[in-house]
Structure 1
Amino acid sequence: MSPVRLAIRVSGVVQGVGYRPFVHALATRLGLAGHVGNDASGVFIEVEGVDEAVDVFVAGLRSEAPPLAVVESVRSASLAVEGEPGFRIVPSPAGGTADTLISADSTTCADCLRELWDPADRRYRYPFINCTHCGPRFTIVRGVPYDRPLTTMAGFALCAECAAEYADPADRRFHAQPVCCPACGPRLFLDGVADPLASTVEFLAAGKIVAIKGLGGYHLAVDAGSDDAAALLRSRKHREDKPFAIMVPDLAAARTLCTVDDVAASMLTSRRRPIVLLPRLPDAAVAPAVSPGNRRLGLMLPYTPLHHLLLADLGRPIVLTSANISDEPIVYRDDEVTRLSGIADAILSHDRPIHMRTDDSVVRPFRGREQVQRRSRGYVPEPLGVPFTGQVLACGAELKNTFCLAKGGHAFLSHHIGDLENYETLRSFVDGIEHFRRLFDIHPGVVAHDLHPEYLSTKYALELPDVEQVSVQHHHAHIASCLADNGAEGPVLGVAFDGTGYGPDGTIWGGEFLLADYFGFSRLGHLEPVPMPGGAAAIRSPWRMALAYLGSDAPSSLVSRHVTWSAVSSMAHAGVNSPLTSSAGRLFDAVASVVGLRDVINYEGQAAIELEQIADLAEPGAYPVRVVDGDPVRVFGVDLVRAAAADSARAGVVSARFHRGLADAVVRACSLLRERTSVGVVALSGGVFQNCLFSDLVVTGLEASGFTVLTHSRVPTNDGGVSLGQAVIAGVSLRS
């Protein structure tokens, strides 16, 4: 056995996850010498010892890595043997190109929870307990390498005991950057009271609204069992109907409210701790105002020590919703918390700054796996692999906006930004892009954007100097996003169903059948277009879409509900302010209005969501739909609306028959296009496929017809995934 020395470079998510302490422990166990350190590119190692031990060491860099680490590559090169003693962690050098990856924030680990509840531990009931395996990451990082001076913990000097833990290779907090304790770390504040946590519990128990500072911003909390408190929160927050998320103390409590199978349980208890949408139990002890008329609840488990303490002391679930007014972004800076003064009765804050605001993520189980609907805290900024290496910025859509920056085969899809409809959200969008560019050292020469000229994301892209601008059709981006989510390149038959997308022909698309890959698309079919009476007003008023589909054939019960029916009908007939649309979302709206479910909406997609919620599958039947072969293939949604209007069955049965009929039409259209193209793979994308019932019917029907079906899992099927599709379409053009 002869001594060897290697220079090793480890890349991936290897900073802020306890990787250097792990390397130190592994080398010490094997009797090896050398050093390990962080730099802007990841982790660098020099290791020296007998060749067999070095081989075991190199293999262990992957196989024994810490739980939060994601090792993408381990590269090594031979060096001259130096004969140095011992193994050290060395300081991080300044400068260099930032190629390292940053870990997402992670829920409190089991070891820290044991200490949190141990009266003999010095961190007993300390709301900011953390270690190398858990705690804040992305939300506190200001730059790389990931060291304490480049986090928002820089202002908290370590006490002697924490410093000793930080320096001890045998300690779980060895080089844990956010390490702290009650003597040296952040503290809670609530209106000058001596015990902020106890006062918060008292306020919640009394039906008050409390703003609570969390990992990525402030939340608004009330007792989930108090209808008065939840209704008051709705009134003050100007959120009429949209469901609130609920935090429960543990899995057992979740099972008293919802059906929780093994897949759902793994999602609830994962280190990411997202909001999980689950079937509500009939006797769930939740106030009606929390999630009115909804068959599902959005549940999450505590993911910070503060949450664990709060839920344990209160002893019951709480509503925990983003602290904002209407559609503004979540409040995260202490100097802007005054914006909540008209909503919250009290504010529980702390003095650890949040560098990047981040909403809670939202997921659901779908056909045995997790499907992300809002990708944010716990997932961001972990990268997605893409089939190009160039540097690209994609600016996303207008609603549910995310942006995406890419380089070196990694796509960094941003946290949820929201709807770009006000200055605060636009500022969050711009600030987020600048932070990601600095954090990952990306200088894009290509910027992708939506075709719609009035989207604020498009205007931002077009104003950037010295870049190549690539316009990407909205539904092409949806399908490309689904391809990237599945690691596929196409071509596929893409079914892109959503509410709105700018069409190159000047109409509003949204019910599209495309032949697509990253390099281009052809529109092979679509829902037959109808007018949108009043343009954007039809999005807010589903009855206008019922009018567009039914015209003079509308039932009197529908016409009589609207005094302006005649005037709007004349406007639509004359084509005045009534652009044509093939939108599947507007088709769902029309049926929701026909069955008397929803004539006016208070949030995006409300009519379609409620139509799915009432579907009663107990009775069979599907409405017939014309699918006309041609160039393009045309699917006549009007058949569904007329059938729904003529059906005397209960609304729930009508909903089920509509869903089945449209799903059958999708399968028949894809079958026609397979005969024409010989393509047997279908990619499903767009906000309509957030509908579990419709998605399941479509996937089941397509698979029964011999198709391979691609659906979203890691990336939202709604507009939150559009920026990834834009990035890949623009990026692959660089390699061609």
Structure 2
Amino acid sequence: MRAEATPQEHPAERRAIRVRGLVQGVGFRPHVYRCAQACAVSGFVCNDTQGVLIEAEGHDLDAFVELLQCELPPLARLDSLLQQPVPARGDNDFHIAPSRGGAARGAAIPADAAICDDCLQELFDPGDRRFLHPFIACCNCGPRYTMTRALPYDRGHTAMADFDFCPACASDYTDPGNRRFHAEPLACHDCGPQLSNSVEAVARALAAGQIVAIKGVGGYHLACDARNDAAVQQLRSRKQRDGKPFAVMVLNTRCAARYSELDEGAVRALRSPERPVTVAPVNTGKPGLSAELSRDLGTLGIMLPYTAVHYLLFHALLGCPDTSRWLREANDIALVMTSANISGEPLITDAVTAAARLGGIADCFLHHNRDIPARADDSVVRASARQYTVIRRARGFAPHAIKLHSDGPAVLALGAHLKTTVTLTRGNRAHISPHVGDLDTAEAIALHRETANALEQMLQTAPQRVACDMADDFASTRLATQLSEQRNLPLLRVQHHHAHVAAVLAEHRVTGPVLGMALDGHGQGLDGAAWGGELLRVDGAEMQRVGHLSALSLPGGDRAAREPWRMAAGILHRLDRSDEIADRFRDQPLAAALGQWLRTGETGDTTSAGRLFDAAAGLLGICPVSRFEGEAPMLLEGLVRGELTDGDHYQLLDGILDFTPLLTRLADCADPTRGAREFHGTLLRGLTDWALDAAARQRVDTIALCGGCFINHYLATELPLRLQAAGLTVLQAVAMPPNDGAISLGQAWVACHHDTARA
């Protein structure tokens, strides 16, 4: 299309403009085209090895560049824009040129986005040719990462390459005035992917109490009626998921408010393009959901639909209403929507595997024939009015790159053992994979290796260094060692809590020196012991331990992490009350034997903050045995009602914080609710004093808070306020989870800071 002429106030000039950021797969090139038309600019735009390249020629390029930056597409993010003059060519038009080969060094891989309002309106408009089309999408929404096979992000590098345009879609794709101009997920009934059976049949199965396996954008879900106790119990039994909460999908925030107490932050998270599972307090005044969803936790993971198929399901369950009012109205329909896998195994992405692995779980299947090159589970966040904490970073968030403070060597970091992710750095960007999970099964270990390979292939980047945890028995460490030896690459082993702190520093582009407070379940320390409640001084790649929680006995080793009664027994023994153990924990077959053994044997120790929570829960009788990781701390937090009791039952000496006085009080507390308030209040006061004491001794005024314990609402929200009020600058995880999902980023950050000789 020819650019329109405008009054010539300045001589024509031409500039090469390089743009980096989230500018592929988000409608950025069509945006550039429209800006060029508005400013009478000629030239071209394309994806290239530096990100997006624009060559613009005209009489007022400053106005063009300003327009580029002021009216970005909804999903775009511009990190940098560099300009330089080039010789004029006298072009007569502006066009979108073919991409130049190779992955864009400065480009971000686009993440998936929920269906936009425009597509949603068209989906239920009988006059639109995409009426009820299950794969409707445009430049502003739809799958991105999960259908990407390689960069640059063009249709030929995605799963949509398997589907040729019909004439009507080809016209939409090439029309600059169309919202689907160069939208790579573009399709319609005539040329796009197809479902294996009708949505109405699936809706009838759900209404009848059956379990359905549904292929989504990043893998399969298992779904059932969340109000049907028998259906939820059946799903829990078949999926071998004892106790761990299920996420629930409802139509809109009015429906969500029936079941959860939503503040402004939760509503914002639910409606965001990422559409994560959002953990919020249960609305106890409006029951209706199965008690089997989230037993006694006081919270519910809830999310809104994010694909056309989800909306079509709700439409069918509501009897196929013929107006759009139903989209905004409240209803009581709620669907369990959980990852379709056997617990501990990776998310399933293809029909053959789904039939083989889910045949004993699902009563009905809804497949489609679009490939899923990249798995992505649902993201999980916990929202508050001030912020939200990412618990699992996956669909919608990953693999958005974290911009680092400077360029560095390409580092492949393999993460830890639990909640594993993989990070590959390139230039000043860290690309973090979606959540891989716990490396407890052969299938999960294979997925971990596959994820590392896929990142390298997608980014077309070969690592120059490999980083991993210090623990030899982690599958991630074994893989890192293999890759290092096979490729003759330097291997850097990063202490677990050092990596936790470093991940927060990477997000905030801070190098140090800072104080890091790492509170989690377990990580091998520099001395080989079990750490988990640490104060570290971090300065670049250097780390020094400057404080820790007083060590607790760990009766039974790893079993104590799954059986909080053991942690409580260890406390009773420390208090010379071993004779109480057998009676107090009489429901535990080994209680008497453990009590006797504690009198004569030796146990390992741990400084873990997670085990401190477990000990408190065990002493209060809240959770003798955990059915899933983190259950005891979650139950303990869920018991808090009203204001915390801000006690001073702790001792601080030479950087060691001892909560034995608090645990002594809990051992005699008959009211678990009162005990939960006192535990959290005293913990906050003790941690505040501990941090301030270390900051003064180390002469630093910045502290990074990290570790899985910071998923706790009170630690995540109240502790930063107390530290800020005392004059410290507080850094927290924002785009990344505070738990082990960020370990690979921290490992990569440390490896980037290590000089070549020491790496």
**Structure 2 length normalisation: TM-score?**
0.92
- Within the candidate set 26, 43, 47, 1:17 is matched to 26
> Could you tell me which residue of structure 1 aligns to residue 615 of structure 2?
590
Q: Provide the residue aligned with 1:203 in structure 2.
A: 205
**Which position in structure 1 is the counterpart of 2:577?**
553
Q: CA deviation at 1:3?
A: 1.3
Deviation of residue 529 (structure 1)? 1.4
> Partners of 1:289 and 1:43 in 2: how far apart?
50
The corresponding residue for 2:272 is 270
User: How far is the alpha carbon of 1:682 from its aligned partner?
Assistant: 2.2
**Structure 1 residues without counterparts, runs of 5 or longer:** 191-195
Task: Note closer, same or farther for the CA distance 1:440–1:569 as it changes in structure 2 (3 Å cut).
Answer: same
Report the alpha carbon displacement of residue 298 of structure 1 after superposing the two structures with TM.
0.9
- In the alignment, is residue 562 of structure 1 matched against residue 549 of structure 2? no
Cα distance between partner residues in 1 of 2:501 and 2:101 = 41
- The residue type equivalent to 2:604 in the other structure is P
Mapped pair 1:484 → 2:506: yes
**What secondary structure sits across from 2:345 in the alignment?**
coil
User: CA separation in 2, counterparts of 1:444 and 1:392?
Assistant: 5
CA distance 1:355–1:512, shift in 2 (3 Å) = same
Counterparts of 1:236-635 in structure 2, within 5 Å, are 236-282=238-284, 283-315=286-318, 316-337=333-354, 338-366=356-384, 368-389=386-407, 390-464=409-483, 465=486, 466-551=488-573, 552-553=576-577, 555=580, 557-575=583-601, 578-617=603-642, 620=645, 622=647, 624-627=649-652, 629-630=653-654, 633-635=655-657
1:75-114 superposed matches below 5 A: 75-95=82-102, 98-114=105-121
Cα root mean square deviation, aligned:
1.8
Residue 215 of structure 1 aligns to which amino acid in structure 2? V
Cα offset for 1:571?
Answer: 4.0
Distance 1:732 1:84, change over 3 A: same
- The C-alpha deviation readout for 1:227-267, integer Å capped at 9, x for no partner, is 11111111111111111111110111112222222222111
1:388 match: secondary structure: strand
- Residue 560 of structure 1 deviates from its aligned partner by 2.6
Closer, same or farther in 2 for the Cα pair 1:198/1:472, shift >3 Å?
same
The more displaced of 696-705 and 174-183 is 696-705
In the TM superposition, what is the alpha-carbon distance from 1:417 to its structure 2 partner? 0.4
CA distance in 2, matches of 1:489, 1:84: 47
**TM-superposition CA deviations, 1:177-204 (whole Å, max 9, x none):** 11100001011114xxxxx200110011
The letter for the 2-side match of 1:532 is L
Displacement after TM superposition at 1:530 (Å): 2.6
* Counterpart among 123, 129, 137 of residue 130 in structure 1: 137
- 2:365 is matched by which residue type in structure 1? I
CA positional deviation for 1:608: 1.1
Give the 3-state SS of the residue equivalent to 1:386 in structure 2.
strand
For residues 297 and 240 of structure 2, the distance between their equivalents in structure 1, rounded to whole angstroms, comes to 19
CA distance in 1, matches of 2:643, 2:753: 48
Measured against aligned partners, the alpha-carbon deviations of 1:658-709 in whole angstroms (never above 9, x if no partner) come to 1112222112222322332222322211111111124334334323433332
Measured in 2, the distance between the counterparts of 1:19 and 1:696 equals 36
Mark the CA change 1:168 to 1:451 in structure 2 (over 3 Å): closer, same or farther.
same
Secondary structure, counterpart of 2:82 in structure 1? strand
1:27 is the counterpart of 2:41: no
The 1:573/1:695 distance shift into structure 2, 3 A limit, reads: farther
2:161 alignment counterpart: 154
Deviation at 1:73, TM superposition (A): 2.0
Q: Is the 8 A contact 1:660 1:694 kept in 2?
A: no
1:322 is aligned with what amino acid? S
Secondary structure of the structure 2 residue equivalent to 1:355 = coil
- How far off is 1:361 after superposition? 0.6
Aligned residues: 724
Q: Distance in 2 between matches of 1:127 and 1:387?
A: 42
User: Following the alignment from structure 2 to structure 1, what is the Cα–Cα distance between the partners of residues 230 and 109?
Assistant: 42
**SS of 1:75's equivalent?**
strand
1:587-636 Cα offsets, whole Å, 9 max, x none, are 11111111111111111111111111112335745361122x22xx2222
Q: How far is the alpha carbon of 1:218 from its aligned partner?
A: 0.3
Give per-residue Cα distances to partners, 1:394-447, cap 9 Å, x unaligned. Answer: 111100111111121111111000001111111111111111112222221111
Structure 1 residues 23 and 694: CA distance shift in structure 2, 3 A: closer
Q: 1:30 to 1:387 in 2, by over 3 A?
A: closer
Aligned residue in 1 for 2:330: none
Q: Does the CA contact (< 8 Å) of 1:550 and 1:641 recur in 2?
A: no
For residues 644 and 525 of structure 2, the distance between their equivalents in structure 1, rounded to whole angstroms, comes to 38
Q: How much does 1:21 deviate?
A: 1.4
Q: What's the offset of the Cα at 1:39?
A: 2.7
Per-residue deviation, 1:96: 6.7
2:729 corresponds in structure 1 to 708
Q: Which moved more, 1:544-553 or 1:718-727?
A: 544-553
Per-residue CA distance 1:495-529 (angstroms, 9 max, x = gap): 11111000121210011122223322221221221
Q: Counterparts in 2 of 1:32-43, with a 5 A limit?
A: 32-43=41-52
Q: Is the 8 A contact 1:623 1:658 kept in 2?
A: no
1:111 to 1:602, Cα distance in 2 relative to 1, 3 A: same
Identity, % of aligned positions: 40
> Are 1:676 and 2:697 an aligned pair?
yes
> Alignment partner of 2:370: what SS?
coil
Change (3 A) 1:575 1:617: farther
Name the SS for the 2:696 alignment partner.
helix
Alpha-carbon distance in structure 2 between the residues aligned to 1:517 and 1:373: 27
Aligned to 1:193: none
Amino acid paired to 2:316: D
Q: Compute the displacement of 1:531 (Å).
A: 2.6
Q: Counterparts of 1:619 and 1:272 in 2: how far apart (Å)?
A: 33
SS at match of 2:258: coil
Paired amino acid for 2:631: Q
- Equivalent residue of 1:644, what SS? helix
Question: In 2, distance between residues paired with 1:81 and 1:515?
Answer: 55
Aligned to 1:10, what secondary structure does the other structure show?
strand
Which AA in structure 2 matches 1:49? Answer: G
The whole-number CA distance in structure 2 between the counterparts of 1:108 and 1:428 is: 28
Give unpaired runs (5+ residues) of structure 2: 1-9, 319-332
Instruction: Give the aligned partner of residue 217 of structure 2.
Output: 215
SS of alignment partner, residue 485 of structure 1: helix
Question: 1:549, CA displacement in angstroms?
Answer: 1.5
**Is residue 162 of structure 2 the alignment partner of residue 142 of structure 1?**
no
| Equivalent residue in structure 2 for 1:6, among 2, 15, 27 | 15
Q: Is the 8 A contact 1:387 1:732 kept in 2?
A: no
Q: Deviations over 1:244-292 (max 9, x none)?
A: 1111101111122222222221111111111111111112421111111
1:227 aligns with 2:229: yes
